[in-house]
A and B are shown apart, each in its own frame.
Chain A
Amino acid sequence: MADNKGILVVGEIAEGKLAPITAEALGAGRRLADELKEELSCILIGDKVGDAAKAAVAAGADKVYTTEDAALKDYENDAYMQVAEKAAKDLAPRIILLGQTSMGRDLAPRLAFRLGVSAVMDCLELAIDGATKQLLCTRPVYGGNAKATFSSEALPQIATVRQKAMSPLAPDAGRQGQIAAFPVAIDAGKVRAKVLETVKEEVAGVKLEDAGAVVAGGRGMGGPEPFTKELAELAKILKGAVGASRPPCDNKWVPDTIQIGLTGKIIAPELYIAVALSGSSQHMSGCSGSKCIVAINKDPEANIFKEARVGVVGDWKVILPAFTQRIKELTQ
């Protein structure tokens, strides 16, 4: 595939709009495309693409392809693969980018294997090797205890990008770009794994991904109550959200949807207050992009103190009420 050219972002639509992760992937893709002096395109797949196509142009795409079909309402691998495979073959991009999301983690590997290549998942940084034009993908490995940079000669190079790791461009409604239909006749008979029902378990209040301040608890919270009392109270004062490391989720103290970490949510708030959590590399993978990390932990050797900007060593039961009280005074 020596003629492969350009970058294709396989985009996502969330609640009728261009998903933030797609704007981030387009931001990264724009930078790479400019360096290669090649085109950046985006394919949007769904039952209705609507204004998301214009948003993709505003976010940096030169060309936006839209594939609409009632059978594409929910993400189903066998249906979306029909579109992704055709796009990869017909458009022959050099690089295909997806988000490391529920869809991207599922679609990217199968697409890669179908095309006879291997994907690089969950990338934090993307760059072009000037000499070979190859994509260099840097990602965390060993649970965040190391990083590795990967490349490959085989084209297309496929990578997924971690949420909040890449900067989107400021949306520019004046940007020029083409929008074209990319029709694919979906063979519903080939869809072997079908979605029967989608269940949302979103917690009330500020969404974790959007919160400017996050108060997270770990194993040391000791049970479910502090998450709905002390941590929730502090989060409310900060107009933020409550999160957790993995042990509270595994112990069913809190819903799985508030897990922050490598396999949970990836967040980058202004303020991250880590209470009674050790700060394992896996957990830090989900919050290391936070602007200011605050640690409260009784173990001075806990890894969280290597990650935090400021902290107090001691029992959260003593510290948190006084801390919350003072925060309340300062913010009112």
Chain B
Amino acid sequence: MNMIVCCKQVLDPEAAPATFKLDAANNRMVQPPEVKPVINPYDEQAVEAALRIKDTDKAAHKVTVITLGNNLIRDVVKKPLSMGADELILLEDAAFEGGDGFAVASALAAAIKKVGQFDLIFCGRQESEWDDGQVGSGIAEILGVPSVTVAKKVEVAGGQVKVERVTADGFQKLEASMPCLITVSNELGEARYATLKGIMAASKKQPIVWKPADIGLDKVGAAARKTKVVKLFQPVKEGKCEIISDDDLKVAAGKLADKLREYKVI
């Protein structure tokens, strides 16, 4: 079976809020150079979902990762290879920058068509920069395949894919025909660590790099947007927390409760 996983290199979402600075000229946020980008955590879990299927028969299943961006850091984008993916394709060009969900899904769908053979496509449920959560569904729509979003478990049996989809009050079990696109949520469980052997193997693999012309698109990135960013801004936080203190923490705790009565919230 051929599986494709779409991964994005993002600013580190776990870094302290203070590390996020506004780059108003380019309508984006940036982080200082010492904060290293990461693979979007949901995308790592999408890789994990594919690898769990590959684990059932390593020789029979192939996992290809596609990453879109510019100035991609090789040891960041190669992480899925060191986890056990077979191949990495980079859609890397300055022209890919500044796209919205529509532009990104269009480019990824074009690349998947070029790969040609696919039974399952995995994406993270959303990426941690624009938190858009529509690229996966968009790719499925462009390719004309079914999609199941926000999955916590994915298995293949009898030529069908069985998915557990997270809902507000539990989950649903779905069954879909293949090819199918699945977006993966954190409930799937933690992604595996890269092994030393995996890192060695990944270091020897060279990613395939495709430019917009290679996937047959004239308009990509900012030029292919359907929506425009009118304004990007950092809301000002008032930060007026009243700290209740006392030499005895238990006394402070009692005072905190009294404060809530004063506020009339209890």
What residues on A are CB-neighbors of B9 within 8 Å? none
B227 in contact with A122 (CB, 8 Å): no
Among candidates B101, B145, B165, B243, residue contacting A312 with C-beta atoms closer than 8 Å: B243
B250 in contact with A319 (CB, 8 Å): yes
Complex-state Cα separation, A112 to B140, whole angstroms: 12
Binds A, one of B50-58, B169-177, B194-202: B169-177
Complex-state Cα separation, A152 to B101, whole angstroms: 13
Bits for A48-77, please: 1 = Cβ < 8 Å to B, else 0.
Answer: 000000000000000000000000001001
A152 in contact with B228 (CB, 8 Å): yes
Complex-state Cα separation, A108 to B46, whole angstroms: 21
Question: Which secondary structure dominates chain A's binding surface?
Answer: mixed
Residue on A nearest B226 in the bound complex, by CB: A118
Complex-state Cα separation, A306 to B166, whole angstroms: 31
Q: Does A228 contact B (CB under 8 A)?
A: no
Residue on A nearest B109 in the bound complex, by CB: A113
What residues on B are CB-neighbors of A254 within 8 Å? none
Interface centre among B27, B131, B177 (most CB of A within 10 A): B131
Among candidates B140, B142, B170, B226, residue contacting A152 with C-beta atoms closer than 8 Å: B226
A136 in contact with B242 (CB, 8 Å): no
Among candidates B242, B254, B265, residue contacting A271 with C-beta atoms closer than 8 Å: B265
Known: A309-B241, A319-B252, A331-B266. A250 touches B190 (CB 8 A): yes
What residues on B are CB-neighbors of A213 within 8 Å? 265-266
Binds B, one of A22-30, A175-183, A193-201: A193-201
Complex-state Cα separation, A148 to B252, whole angstroms: 40
B169 in contact with A319 (CB, 8 Å): no
Complex-state Cα separation, A280 to B14, whole angstroms: 8
Residue on B nearest A76 in the bound complex, by CB: B174
B173 in contact with A195 (CB, 8 Å): yes
What residues on B are CB-neighbors of A249 within 8 Å? 186-187
Q: Does B237 contact A (CB under 8 A)?
A: yes
**Which chain B residues in 229-259 approach chain A with CB under 8 Å?**
229-235, 237, 239-245, 249-254, 256-259
Binds B, one of A86-94, A165-173, A321-329: A321-329
Number of interface residues of A (CB under 8 A): 90
What residues on B are CB-neighbors of A265 within 8 Å? 168
Among candidates A149, A202, A280, residue contacting B231 with C-beta atoms closer than 8 Å: A149
Complex-state Cα separation, A114 to B185, whole angstroms: 24
Q: Does B85 contact A (CB under 8 A)?
A: no
Binds A, one of B15-23, B60-68, B76-84, B88-96: B15-23
Bits for B5-36, please: 1 = Cβ < 8 Å to A, else 0.
Answer: 00000010110110010100001010000000
Among candidates B141, B171, B227, residue contacting A113 with C-beta atoms closer than 8 Å: B141
A263 in contact with B126 (CB, 8 Å): yes
Complex-state Cα separation, A308 to B263, whole angstroms: 13
Among candidates B101, B170, B251, residue contacting A257 with C-beta atoms closer than 8 Å: B170
Among candidates B20, B147, B263, residue contacting A146 with C-beta atoms closer than 8 Å: B20
A202 in contact with B169 (CB, 8 Å): yes
Complex-state Cα separation, A105 to B136, whole angstroms: 11
Known: A140-B131, A250-B190. A197 touches B13 (CB 8 A): no
What are 16 A-B contacts with C-beta separation under 8 Å?
A: A102-B165, A108-B134, A109-B141, A110-B141, A118-B227, A119-B101, A136-B230, A142-B29, A148-B231, A213-B266, A263-B125, A280-B17, A310-B241, A311-B243, A313-B243, A326-B258
Question: Which 10 residue pairs spanning A and B have beta carbons closest together?
Answer: A109-B134, A326-B257, A192-B146, A193-B176, A109-B137, A322-B253, A118-B226, A113-B141, A118-B102, A201-B170
Measured CB to CB, the residues of B under 8 A from A are 11, 13-14, 16-17, 20, 22, 27, 29, 100-102, 105, 125-126, 128-134, 136-138, 140-142, 145-150, 152, 163, 165-177, 180, 185-187, 189-190, 225-235, 237, 239-245, 249-254, 256-261, 263, 265-266
Beyond A119-B101, A305-B243, A319-B249, 11 additional contacts (C-beta under 8 Å) are A109-B137, A109-B138, A142-B29, A147-B235, A149-B232, A151-B227, A151-B230, A271-B266, A310-B259, A310-B260, A322-B249
Measured CB to CB, the residues of A under 8 A from B are 74, 77-78, 101-102, 105-106, 108-110, 112-114, 116-122, 136, 139-143, 145-152, 154, 192-202, 213, 238, 246, 249-250, 256-257, 262-263, 265, 270-271, 280-282, 291-292, 294-296, 300, 303, 305-315, 318-323, 325-327, 330-331
